[in-house]
């Protein structure tokens, strides 16, 4: 059990270090304002403003779910 806990801790640590070095960016020219990204965001960090997605960097946990959900590939996870 201790080995499993240690491995889980290391995996989570690596994930959070990697996720912390990225940020979600919206390409306003590609975004249609469909709201798919809003629906999947676990922390409500995305709002639709004037028919475009806007990411609140203070709330965003950089999980990438929004980028995966976007049908137009308007959201990309980029290095900070």
Please give the model's pTM, rounded to 2 decimal places: 0.72
DSSP-assigned beta bridge partners for residue 55: 46
Residue pair 72/37 in contact by the 8 Å Cβ criterion: no
pLDDT band for position 74 (50/70/90)?
very high
Quote the CA–CA distance of 32 and 51 in Å, as a whole number.
Answer: 7
What's the whole-number mean pLDDT along residues 39-59? 96
What's the whole-number mean pLDDT along residues 28-36? 97
Q: What structural domains and CATH numbers belong to the chain?
A: 2-79 (3.30.70.20)
C-alpha distance from residue 20 to each of 13, 38, 45, 79 (Å): 10, 20, 15, 9
């Amino acid at each position: 059990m201790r080995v499993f806990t240690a491995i889980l801790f290391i995996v989570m640590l690596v994930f959070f270090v990697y996720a912390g070095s990225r940020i979600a960016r919206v390409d306003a020219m590609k975004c249609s304002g469909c709201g798919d990204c809003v629906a999947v965001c676990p922390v409500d960090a995305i709002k639709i403003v004037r028919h475009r997605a806007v990411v609140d960097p203070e709330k965003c946990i950089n999980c990438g779910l929004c980028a995966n959900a976007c049908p137009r590939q308007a959201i990309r996870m980029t290095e900070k």
